[in-house]
């Protein structure tokens, strides 16, 4: 039984782990399985090749990866830079930058998990070049690359894509991780994330897979049941500093993690994936270790982890599962995607 609080060293907060609660009865809402039987192309999809987007722009007949500026940007250099002063105790500041969409494939019904390893390498290269380009823009302080996947995280369009927010500010979690990592380096002379990797390797129970230069694990302090960190073993402040061999290794670790996610319940596995990279303001962040975090909202095939009293009301995460057990579960899953194993994307071989 795991029933304790665990310290999250990157966020500097406690996580309540109460794994004995995972089997408690549930009579609330459940989430329907995501649709798996889709076709290659959808006429009403704003991301499919040749289709018209809300802005009126028509997507090219792209055959590989396609990038465009978001038609409804959350940040833009068109946002006002002269603001009315905030009253009294309040503060405000301009929010601007660049928001882009990256389609992984022209195929409407693929997921990142189903891309070939060399296509994932190519995607990592695109992220790397996007990062370099956007980080070099004056006024850009940070580049957040993330993917929201699945209805469970509010995405109704299954077309495989991610977003890039290059902003004049640094997102709060990154700011916190940056401060914590830099202070740790100053005080101990060591990189915090390296000490996390050491702890994970010494224990071993939460490691999902690893290659020569990359590793995937559910951290000791995971807040979500299937929260996985994927990282290069060497410290780099951002994706921009990874070598070609490291990108390749990273793809070779990402792929089995993504396949295992989909294989868990034989459905496209919903998650929020975020690349955590140091600020891109030109300063030295040698204590910051680039990593990818997966935050999947489901605890079971149809059971959502709701953020409620402890999280929203009290500000502390309550996890109902043991990271050790969940890592074991992921490790035991086959590395071949269920659609390939079934030879069809419609029904499992044993269903009537
Ligand atoms: Zn599409
Ligand atoms: Zn992080």
* Cβ–Cβ < 8 Å for 218, 327: yes
Are 205 and 325 within 8 A, CB to CB? no
10 CA → ligand 2 middle, Å: 7
Would you state the structure tokens that stand for residue 203, as one six-digit string? 């224990």
Q: Tell me the backbone φ, ψ of residue 119, rounded to 5 degrees.
A: -75, -35
Q: Distance between CA atoms of 219 and 236, rounded to whole angstroms?
A: 19
Q: Is the pTM of this model over 0.85?
A: yes
Cα of 175 vs centre of ligand 2, distance in Å, is 10
Query: So what's the pLDDT on residue 87?
Result: 93
Mapped onto helix, strand or coil, the DSSP state of residue 296 is coil
Give yes or no for a contact between 299 and 320, defined as CB atoms under 8 angstroms apart. yes
Question: Distance from the CA of 330 to the center of ligand 2, in angstroms?
Answer: 21
Which one-letter DSSP state was computed for residue 26? Answer: -
pLDDT 10s digits, 156-195: 899 999 999 999 999 999 999 999 999 999 999 999 999 9
Distances, alpha carbon 126 to alpha carbons 25, 136, 207, 215, in Å = 45, 15, 27, 21
For residue 53, which ligand has an atom nearest its CA?
A: 1
β-sheet bridge partners, residue 314? none
The two structure tokens encoding residue 143: 């580049």
Strands 303-304 and 298-300: antiparallel
Beta bridge partners of 274: 146, 293
pLDDT of residue 197: 98
The CA 229 to ligand 2 mean position distance, Å, reads: 8
Ligand nearest to the CA of 110: 1
Distance 56 CA to ligand 1 centre (A): 16
Give the integer Cα–Cα distance in Å for 153 and 155.
Answer: 6
- Angle subtended at Cα 89 by Cα 88 and Cα 95, rounded to the nearest 5 degrees: 100
The catalytic residues are: 161
Ligand whose nearest atom lies closest to the CA of 105: 1
Q: What is the pLDDT of residues 220-264, one digit of tens each?
A: 999 999 999 999 999 999 999 999 999 999 999 999 999 999 999
Do the strands 214-217 and 228-232 form a parallel or antiparallel pair, or are they unpaired?
antiparallel
Distance of CA 303 to the CA centre of its chain: 20
Least Cα distance to 151 among 304, 270, 309 occurs for 270
Strand order in the sheet with 66-69: 66-69, 97-103, 161-167, 142-149, 271-276, 291-295, 228-232, 214-217, 207-210
* Structure tokens, 344: 């069809």
Quick one: which ligand is closest to 38's CA? 1
Alpha carbon distance 214, 232 (integer Å): 4
SS (H, E, C) 92-116: CCCCCEEEEEEECCCCCCCCHHHCC
Q: Which residues of the chain have pLDDT under 70?
A: 22, 25-36, 344-352
Separation in Å, CA 348 to CA 37, 258, 309, 342, 345: 12, 19, 39, 6, 8
For residues 239 and 277, the answer to whether their CB atoms sit within 8 Å is yes
Ligand closest to the CA atom of residue 62? 1
The alpha carbon of 310 and the centre of ligand 1 are apart by a number of angstroms equal to 38
Q: Please give the DSSP secondary-structure letter assigned to residue 268.
A: P
Q: How far apart are CA 73 and CA 51, in angstroms?
A: 19
Q: What is the pLDDT of residue 276?
A: 98
CA of residue 222 to ligand 2 center, whole Å? 11
Q: From the CA of 146, how far away is ligand 2's center (Å)?
A: 12
What's the rounded Cα separation, in Å, for the pair 115 and 104? 8
CA 41–ligand 2 middle distance (angstroms): 35
Give the full edge-to-edge strand order of the sheet including 3-8: 3-8, 13-18, 317-319
């Amino acid at each position: 039984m795991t029933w304790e609080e665990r310290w999250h060293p990157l966020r500097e907060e406690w996580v309540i782990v109460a794994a004995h609660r995972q089997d408690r009865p549930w009579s609330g809402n459940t989430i329907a399985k995501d649709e798996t039987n889709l076709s290659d192309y959808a006429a009403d999809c704003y991301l499919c090749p040749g289709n018209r987007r809300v802005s009126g722009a028509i997507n090219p007949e792209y055959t590989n990866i396609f990038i465009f500026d978001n038609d409804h940007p959350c940040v833009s250099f068109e946002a006002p830079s002269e603001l009315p002063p905030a009253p009294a105790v309040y503060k405000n500041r301009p929010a601007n930058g660049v928001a882009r969409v990256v389609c992984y494939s022209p195929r409407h019904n693929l997921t990142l998990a189903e891309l070939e390893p060399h296509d994932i390498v190519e995607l990592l290269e695109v992220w790397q070049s996007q990062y370099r380009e956007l980080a070099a823009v004056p006024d850009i302080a940070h580049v957040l690359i993330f993917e929201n996947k699945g209805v469970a995280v509010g995405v109704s369009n299954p077309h495989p894509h991610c977003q890039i927010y290059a902003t004049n500010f640094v997102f709060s979690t990154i700011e916190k991780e940056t401060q914590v990592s830099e202070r740790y380096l100053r005080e101990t002379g060591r990189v915090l994330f390296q000490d996390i990797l050491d702890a994970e390797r010494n224990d071993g129970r939460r490691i999902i897979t690893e290659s020569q230069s990359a590793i995937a694990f559910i951290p000791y302090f995971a807040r979500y049941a299937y929260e996985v960190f994927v990282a290069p073993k060497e410290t780099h402040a951002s994706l921009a500093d990874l070598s070609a061999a490291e990108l390749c290794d990273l793809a070779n670790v990402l792929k089995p993690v993504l396949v295992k996610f989909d294989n868990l319940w034989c459905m496209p596995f919903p998650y929020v994936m975020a690349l955590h990279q140091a600020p891109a303001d030109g300063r030295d962040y040698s204590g910051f270790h680039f990593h990818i975090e997966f935050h999947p909202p489901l605890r079971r095939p149809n059971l959502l982890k709701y953020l409620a009293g402890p999280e929203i009301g009290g500000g502390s995460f309550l996890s109902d599962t043991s990271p050790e057990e969940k890592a074991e579960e992921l490790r035991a899953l086959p590395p071949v995607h269920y659609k390939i194993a079934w030879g069809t994307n419609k029904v499992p071989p044993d269903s009537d």
